[in-house]
Amino acid sequence: MLRLPSFAKINLGLEVLGVRQDGYHELRTIFQTIDLRDDILIRSGGRDLTVSCDHPAVPAGRQNLAWRAADELRRFAKRTDGVEIRITKRIPVAGGLGGGSSNAAAVLLGLDRLWRLGLGPEDLHRIARRIGADVPYFLVGGTALGLGRGDEVYPLWRQIRIHVVVADPGRALSTAAVFARLDRSLTPRENSNKIFRFISRDLEGKGTAFPILANDLEEAALEEAPDLAGQVRHIRGILVREGAVAASLSGSGSSLFGLFDDPQRARRAHAALAAEGLSAFRGRTLSLDQYRGAWRRSLGLEGRRPR
Ligand code: C5P
Protein backbone atom coordinates (compact mmCIF):
# COMPACT_ATOMS: atom_id res chain seq x y z
CA MET A 1 0.00 0.00 0.00
CA LEU A 2 1.18 3.53 -0.76
CA ARG A 3 -0.03 6.91 0.46
CA LEU A 4 0.84 9.62 -2.02
CA PRO A 5 0.54 13.40 -2.35
CA SER A 6 -1.15 14.77 -5.46
CA PHE A 7 -0.49 18.50 -5.87
CA ALA A 8 -2.46 21.13 -7.78
CA LYS A 9 -1.07 23.39 -10.52
CA ILE A 10 -1.80 26.89 -11.67
CA ASN A 11 -1.05 28.34 -15.12
CA LEU A 12 1.06 31.48 -14.68
CA GLY A 13 0.15 32.41 -18.26
CA LEU A 14 -1.61 30.59 -21.06
CA GLU A 15 -1.45 31.39 -24.77
CA VAL A 16 -3.53 29.56 -27.36
CA LEU A 17 -1.70 29.61 -30.69
CA GLY A 18 -4.30 27.85 -32.83
CA VAL A 19 -6.17 24.62 -33.53
CA ARG A 20 -4.14 21.55 -34.46
CA GLN A 21 -4.86 18.79 -36.97
CA ASP A 22 -5.80 16.48 -34.08
CA GLY A 23 -8.47 18.94 -32.88
CA TYR A 24 -6.49 19.94 -29.80
CA HIS A 25 -5.12 23.45 -29.35
CA GLU A 26 -1.49 24.39 -29.64
CA LEU A 27 -0.56 25.99 -26.33
CA ARG A 28 2.16 27.89 -24.62
CA THR A 29 1.86 27.96 -20.88
CA ILE A 30 3.90 28.16 -17.70
CA PHE A 31 2.81 25.43 -15.32
CA GLN A 32 3.46 25.86 -11.62
CA THR A 33 2.76 23.35 -8.86
CA ILE A 34 1.45 24.67 -5.54
CA ASP A 35 1.19 23.00 -2.13
CA LEU A 36 -2.58 22.49 -2.30
CA ARG A 37 -2.93 18.70 -2.43
CA ASP A 38 -5.18 15.69 -2.61
CA ASP A 39 -4.11 12.47 -0.89
CA ILE A 40 -4.11 9.19 -2.78
CA LEU A 41 -4.07 5.75 -1.30
CA ILE A 42 -3.16 2.90 -3.64
CA ARG A 43 -3.43 -0.77 -2.78
CA SER A 44 -2.70 -3.57 -5.19
CA GLY A 45 -4.50 -6.92 -4.85
CA GLY A 46 -7.51 -8.90 -6.03
CA ARG A 47 -8.68 -8.48 -9.63
CA ASP A 48 -10.83 -5.33 -9.69
CA LEU A 49 -9.93 -1.74 -10.48
CA THR A 50 -11.82 0.56 -8.11
CA VAL A 51 -11.69 4.29 -7.39
CA SER A 52 -13.46 5.97 -4.50
CA CYS A 53 -13.39 9.60 -3.44
CA ASP A 54 -14.82 11.58 -0.53
CA HIS A 55 -16.11 14.24 -2.97
CA PRO A 56 -19.49 13.43 -4.57
CA ALA A 57 -18.70 15.13 -7.93
CA VAL A 58 -15.71 12.87 -8.62
CA PRO A 59 -16.63 9.93 -10.89
CA ALA A 60 -15.76 6.43 -9.70
CA GLY A 61 -15.24 4.52 -12.96
CA ARG A 62 -13.43 4.93 -16.23
CA GLN A 63 -14.27 8.66 -16.45
CA ASN A 64 -11.89 9.14 -13.56
CA LEU A 65 -8.39 9.87 -14.87
CA ALA A 66 -6.88 7.93 -11.93
CA TRP A 67 -8.86 4.85 -13.01
CA ARG A 68 -7.61 5.28 -16.58
CA ALA A 69 -4.03 5.68 -15.37
CA ALA A 70 -4.21 2.35 -13.51
CA ASP A 71 -5.86 0.70 -16.51
CA GLU A 72 -3.25 2.01 -18.97
CA LEU A 73 -0.34 1.03 -16.73
CA ARG A 74 -1.78 -2.45 -16.19
CA ARG A 75 -2.00 -2.94 -19.93
CA PHE A 76 1.45 -1.55 -20.55
CA ALA A 77 3.00 -3.80 -17.89
CA LYS A 78 0.84 -6.78 -18.96
CA ARG A 79 -0.39 -7.25 -15.38
CA THR A 80 -3.77 -8.50 -14.23
CA ASP A 81 -3.56 -7.34 -10.58
CA GLY A 82 -6.49 -5.42 -9.17
CA VAL A 83 -5.96 -1.91 -7.81
CA GLU A 84 -7.87 0.00 -5.15
CA ILE A 85 -7.50 3.78 -5.31
CA ARG A 86 -8.87 6.09 -2.62
CA ILE A 87 -8.78 9.84 -3.14
CA THR A 88 -9.15 12.46 -0.43
CA LYS A 89 -10.12 15.59 -2.37
CA ARG A 90 -9.01 19.09 -1.48
CA ILE A 91 -8.26 20.43 -4.97
CA PRO A 92 -11.46 22.02 -6.39
CA VAL A 93 -13.05 19.72 -8.98
CA ALA A 94 -13.07 20.97 -12.61
CA GLY A 95 -11.52 24.22 -11.37
CA GLY A 96 -8.58 24.54 -13.78
CA LEU A 97 -6.12 23.33 -11.12
CA GLY A 98 -5.33 19.97 -12.75
CA GLY A 99 -6.63 17.83 -9.87
CA GLY A 100 -7.74 14.88 -12.03
CA SER A 101 -4.52 14.93 -14.09
CA SER A 102 -2.42 15.14 -10.95
CA ASN A 103 -4.27 12.16 -9.43
CA ALA A 104 -3.56 10.19 -12.63
CA ALA A 105 0.17 10.98 -12.51
CA ALA A 106 0.23 9.93 -8.84
CA VAL A 107 -1.27 6.56 -9.76
CA LEU A 108 1.33 6.05 -12.53
CA LEU A 109 4.24 6.85 -10.21
CA GLY A 110 2.70 4.83 -7.35
CA LEU A 111 2.00 1.67 -9.35
CA ASP A 112 5.39 1.85 -11.05
CA ARG A 113 6.85 1.67 -7.55
CA LEU A 114 4.39 -0.88 -6.05
CA TRP A 115 4.87 -3.27 -8.95
CA ARG A 116 8.61 -2.53 -9.19
CA LEU A 117 8.32 -1.89 -12.93
CA GLY A 118 11.25 0.53 -12.99
CA LEU A 119 9.76 2.52 -15.88
CA GLY A 120 11.84 5.45 -17.05
CA PRO A 121 10.62 8.97 -17.80
CA GLU A 122 10.04 8.15 -21.51
CA ASP A 123 7.68 5.25 -20.88
CA LEU A 124 5.83 7.12 -18.13
CA HIS A 125 5.50 10.18 -20.35
CA ARG A 126 4.14 8.10 -23.26
CA ILE A 127 1.48 6.54 -21.01
CA ALA A 128 0.68 9.86 -19.31
CA ARG A 129 -0.06 11.73 -22.55
CA ARG A 130 -2.59 9.10 -23.56
CA ILE A 131 -4.56 9.87 -20.38
CA GLY A 132 -4.71 13.66 -20.74
CA ALA A 133 -2.75 16.65 -21.98
CA ASP A 134 -1.86 17.88 -18.46
CA VAL A 135 -0.81 14.50 -17.04
CA PRO A 136 2.84 14.53 -18.30
CA TYR A 137 3.46 17.83 -16.48
CA PHE A 138 2.62 16.21 -13.15
CA LEU A 139 5.40 13.66 -13.67
CA VAL A 140 7.77 16.65 -13.51
CA GLY A 141 6.24 19.50 -11.43
CA GLY A 142 7.77 22.83 -10.39
CA THR A 143 7.97 25.80 -12.78
CA ALA A 144 7.82 24.40 -16.32
CA LEU A 145 7.07 25.57 -19.84
CA GLY A 146 4.28 23.60 -21.52
CA LEU A 147 4.17 23.47 -25.33
CA GLY A 148 2.21 21.44 -27.90
CA ARG A 149 -1.04 20.28 -26.33
CA GLY A 150 0.58 21.18 -23.00
CA ASP A 151 2.17 17.74 -22.94
CA GLU A 152 5.64 18.85 -24.04
CA VAL A 153 7.12 19.87 -20.73
CA TYR A 154 10.36 21.77 -20.18
CA PRO A 155 11.41 22.53 -16.58
CA LEU A 156 12.62 26.12 -16.31
CA TRP A 157 15.98 27.04 -14.93
CA ARG A 158 14.48 29.63 -12.61
CA GLN A 159 11.94 28.11 -10.25
CA ILE A 160 9.38 30.59 -8.99
CA ARG A 161 9.00 30.75 -5.21
CA ILE A 162 6.11 32.95 -4.22
CA HIS A 163 2.99 32.96 -2.01
CA VAL A 164 -0.26 31.94 -3.63
CA VAL A 165 -3.91 32.45 -2.77
CA VAL A 166 -6.49 30.44 -4.74
CA ALA A 167 -10.20 31.22 -4.72
CA ASP A 168 -12.73 28.66 -5.89
CA PRO A 169 -16.04 30.12 -7.09
CA GLY A 170 -17.42 26.58 -6.75
CA ARG A 171 -18.55 26.39 -10.36
CA ALA A 172 -17.23 23.43 -12.39
CA LEU A 173 -16.21 24.34 -15.95
CA SER A 174 -15.59 21.80 -18.72
CA THR A 175 -12.21 22.34 -20.39
CA ALA A 176 -13.53 20.93 -23.68
CA ALA A 177 -16.49 23.36 -23.61
CA VAL A 178 -14.23 26.36 -22.95
CA PHE A 179 -11.91 25.45 -25.86
CA ALA A 180 -14.92 24.92 -28.15
CA ARG A 181 -16.25 28.34 -27.12
CA LEU A 182 -12.88 29.88 -27.96
CA ASP A 183 -13.14 28.47 -31.51
CA ARG A 184 -16.58 30.06 -31.98
CA SER A 185 -15.46 33.40 -30.58
CA LEU A 186 -15.76 36.29 -33.02
CA THR A 187 -12.85 38.14 -31.51
CA PRO A 188 -9.67 37.36 -33.46
CA ARG A 189 -6.75 36.52 -31.19
CA GLU A 190 -3.28 37.82 -31.79
CA ASN A 191 -0.49 35.43 -31.02
CA SER A 192 1.97 36.99 -28.65
CA ASN A 193 5.37 36.18 -27.31
CA LYS A 194 4.72 37.22 -23.75
CA ILE A 195 5.54 33.85 -22.31
CA PHE A 196 8.88 33.66 -24.10
CA ARG A 197 9.63 37.24 -23.07
CA PHE A 198 8.76 36.35 -19.50
CA ILE A 199 11.10 33.37 -19.52
CA SER A 200 14.04 34.88 -21.31
CA ARG A 201 14.21 38.34 -19.84
CA ASP A 202 11.51 39.53 -17.49
CA LEU A 203 11.88 36.60 -15.11
CA GLU A 204 15.03 38.26 -13.79
CA GLY A 205 12.92 41.07 -12.38
CA LYS A 206 10.97 38.76 -9.98
CA GLY A 207 7.40 39.85 -9.29
CA THR A 208 7.49 42.80 -11.66
CA ALA A 209 7.30 40.49 -14.69
CA PHE A 210 4.08 38.72 -13.75
CA PRO A 211 1.59 41.35 -14.97
CA ILE A 212 2.58 40.74 -18.62
CA LEU A 213 1.20 37.21 -18.39
CA ALA A 214 -2.42 36.58 -19.30
CA ASN A 215 -4.75 33.66 -19.81
CA ASP A 216 -6.22 33.45 -23.32
CA LEU A 217 -8.99 31.17 -22.06
CA GLU A 218 -10.53 33.70 -19.69
CA GLU A 219 -12.88 35.36 -22.18
CA ALA A 220 -14.13 32.00 -23.47
CA ALA A 221 -14.59 30.70 -19.91
CA LEU A 222 -16.74 33.70 -19.05
CA GLU A 223 -18.78 33.29 -22.24
CA GLU A 224 -19.30 29.64 -21.30
CA ALA A 225 -20.37 30.62 -17.78
CA PRO A 226 -21.72 34.21 -17.91
CA ASP A 227 -22.97 33.81 -14.34
CA LEU A 228 -19.32 33.76 -13.24
CA ALA A 229 -18.33 37.16 -14.63
CA GLY A 230 -19.42 39.16 -11.56
CA GLN A 231 -17.73 36.79 -9.16
CA VAL A 232 -14.50 36.70 -11.15
CA ARG A 233 -14.39 40.52 -11.14
CA HIS A 234 -15.11 40.55 -7.42
CA ILE A 235 -12.43 37.97 -6.53
CA ARG A 236 -9.82 39.62 -8.74
CA GLY A 237 -10.69 42.96 -7.12
CA ILE A 238 -10.01 41.54 -3.66
CA LEU A 239 -6.71 39.92 -4.73
CA VAL A 240 -5.45 43.10 -6.40
CA ARG A 241 -6.63 45.36 -3.57
CA GLU A 242 -4.73 43.21 -1.07
CA GLY A 243 -1.52 43.56 -3.10
CA ALA A 244 -1.31 40.59 -5.48
CA VAL A 245 1.50 41.03 -8.03
CA ALA A 246 -0.70 39.10 -10.47
CA ALA A 247 -4.24 37.72 -10.38
CA SER A 248 -5.56 35.37 -13.03
CA LEU A 249 -7.86 32.52 -13.90
CA SER A 250 -6.10 29.13 -13.77
CA GLY A 251 -6.34 26.90 -16.87
CA SER A 252 -9.89 26.90 -18.21
CA GLY A 253 -11.23 28.07 -14.83
CA SER A 254 -13.11 28.60 -12.73
CA SER A 255 -10.50 28.97 -9.96
CA LEU A 256 -8.57 32.22 -9.70
CA PHE A 257 -5.20 32.70 -8.09
CA GLY A 258 -3.24 35.66 -6.79
CA LEU A 259 0.56 35.76 -6.37
CA PHE A 260 2.04 37.63 -3.39
CA ASP A 261 5.63 38.60 -2.60
CA ASP A 262 4.59 39.37 0.95
CA PRO A 263 3.10 36.63 3.18
CA GLN A 264 1.17 39.20 5.27
CA ARG A 265 -0.64 40.42 2.17
CA ALA A 266 -1.40 36.85 1.16
CA ARG A 267 -2.83 36.22 4.62
CA ARG A 268 -5.00 39.35 4.39
CA ALA A 269 -6.25 38.41 0.92
CA HIS A 270 -7.14 34.93 2.12
CA ALA A 271 -8.98 36.37 5.14
CA ALA A 272 -10.86 38.87 2.95
CA LEU A 273 -12.03 36.08 0.60
CA ALA A 274 -13.05 33.85 3.51
CA ALA A 275 -14.94 36.76 5.12
CA GLU A 276 -17.06 36.93 1.96
CA GLY A 277 -17.89 33.26 2.32
CA LEU A 278 -15.62 32.24 -0.58
CA SER A 279 -13.75 28.97 -0.48
CA ALA A 280 -10.07 29.88 -0.56
CA PHE A 281 -6.63 28.35 -0.08
CA ARG A 282 -3.38 30.01 0.92
CA GLY A 283 -0.02 28.40 0.31
CA ARG A 284 3.15 28.56 -1.75
CA THR A 285 4.50 27.46 -5.07
CA LEU A 286 6.40 24.17 -5.09
CA SER A 287 9.69 24.16 -6.98
CA LEU A 288 10.91 21.24 -9.06
CA ASP A 289 13.17 20.11 -6.18
CA GLN A 290 10.43 20.41 -3.58
CA TYR A 291 7.99 18.50 -5.79
CA ARG A 292 10.53 15.77 -6.52
CA GLY A 293 11.49 15.62 -2.84
CA ALA A 294 7.88 15.14 -1.73
CA TRP A 295 7.55 12.29 -4.24
CA ARG A 296 10.76 10.58 -3.32
CA ARG A 297 9.83 10.68 0.37
CA SER A 298 6.41 9.16 -0.16
CA LEU A 299 7.71 6.51 -2.57
CA GLY A 300 10.45 5.54 -0.12
CA LEU A 301 13.20 6.49 -2.60
CA GLU A 302 15.08 8.90 -0.36
CA GLY A 303 18.79 8.35 -0.37
CA ARG A 304 18.73 6.50 -3.69
CA ARG A 305 20.25 7.90 -6.83
CA PRO A 306 17.57 9.62 -9.00
CA ARG A 307 16.90 7.85 -12.30
O1 C5P B 1 -6.40 16.20 -22.58
P2 C5P B 1 -7.60 16.48 -21.74
O3 C5P B 1 -8.59 15.35 -21.77
O4 C5P B 1 -7.28 16.92 -20.36
O5 C5P B 1 -8.32 17.74 -22.41
C6 C5P B 1 -9.68 17.99 -22.21
C7 C5P B 1 -10.24 18.70 -23.44
O8 C5P B 1 -9.70 20.01 -23.55
C9 C5P B 1 -9.90 18.03 -24.75
O10 C5P B 1 -10.85 17.06 -25.08
C11 C5P B 1 -9.92 19.18 -25.73
O12 C5P B 1 -11.25 19.46 -26.13
C13 C5P B 1 -9.46 20.37 -24.89
N14 C5P B 1 -8.04 20.67 -25.08
C15 C5P B 1 -7.62 21.29 -26.25
N16 C5P B 1 -6.30 21.60 -26.42
C17 C5P B 1 -5.38 21.30 -25.49
C18 C5P B 1 -5.77 20.67 -24.29
C19 C5P B 1 -7.12 20.37 -24.12
O20 C5P B 1 -8.45 21.59 -27.12
N21 C5P B 1 -4.11 21.61 -25.70
8-18 per-position pLDDT tens digit:
999 999 999 98
- Looking at residue 202, what is its pLDDT? 54
CATH 3.30.70.890 placement within the chain:
163-284
Q: Do 168 and 182 touch, CB atoms closer than 8 A? A: no
Q: How does residue 272 score in pLDDT terms, banded at 50, 70 and 90? A: very high
Nearest CA residue ID for atom 11, ligand 1: 176
- Looking at residue 186, what is its pLDDT? 60
CATH 3.30.230.10 placement within the chain:
2-156
Quick one: CATH architecture of 2-156?
A: 2-Layer Sandwich (3.30)
Q: Which of 11, 16, 22, 24 to mutate to test the pocket of ligand 1 (most atoms within 8 A of CB)?
A: 24
Tens of pLDDT along 63-76?
999 999 999 999 99
Instruction: State the Cα–Cα distance between residues 59 and 76, nearest whole angstrom.
Output: 23
Average pLDDT over the chain reads 92
Which residues have a catalytic role annotated? Answer: 9, 134
Nearest CA residue ID for atom 13, ligand 1: 176
Classify domain 163-284 at the CATH topology level: Alpha-Beta Plaits (3.30.70)
Q: Which of 15, 130, 175 to mutate to test the pocket of ligand 1 (most atoms within 8 A of CB)?
A: 175
CA 282 → CA 60, 68, 260, 272, distances in Å? Answer: 29, 31, 10, 12
Tens of pLDDT along 240-251?
999 999 999 999
